[in-house]
Amino acid sequence: MDKFKLIKPSCNLQTVFDGRGGIFTWVPEVAIKEFNLLYFKPGAIRGNHWHPEFTEYFLIVDGEGVMVVKNVETGEEKTIHMSKGECSCAGPGIAHAFHAITLVTAVAMLSKPWDKCKDPIIHEQVTKVKK
């Protein structure tokens, strides 16, 4: 699924060795034009949609959950456990839904401002809750 991937950060080890903590750096392939802070309660699901006009980066700041993605052209699906410090990238045409396992704080970063899109979101049932 080439339009979805996890992005790994680089780390300047000197920022760890100097005793102050560490600096981890992600370099996106597509420029970020907007970012949003999101909070999830355990059991919450956000998503079940895709974006035709932009790429979305999703960085977990705290907590853990499961990202379910689906290529709307091929139907290929993937499930990925995500936790603090992990970042995903979903290009146009990749439907996604995030299921919080714990309290989650995340940052969603978009390559085009939401309000500048004709169609920022297309609903697509990626996952269904079974009871």
- pLDDT for residue 127: 80
pTM for the model: 0.91
**pLDDT tens by residue, 14-35:** 999 999 999 999 999 999 999 9
- pLDDT for residue 75: 87
The DSSP code sequence of 61-116 is EE-EEEEEEEETTT--EEEEEEETT-EEEE-TTEEEEEEESS-EEEEEEESS-GGG
CATH 2.60.120.10 fits 4-123, yes or no: yes
**What is the average pLDDT across 111-122?**
96
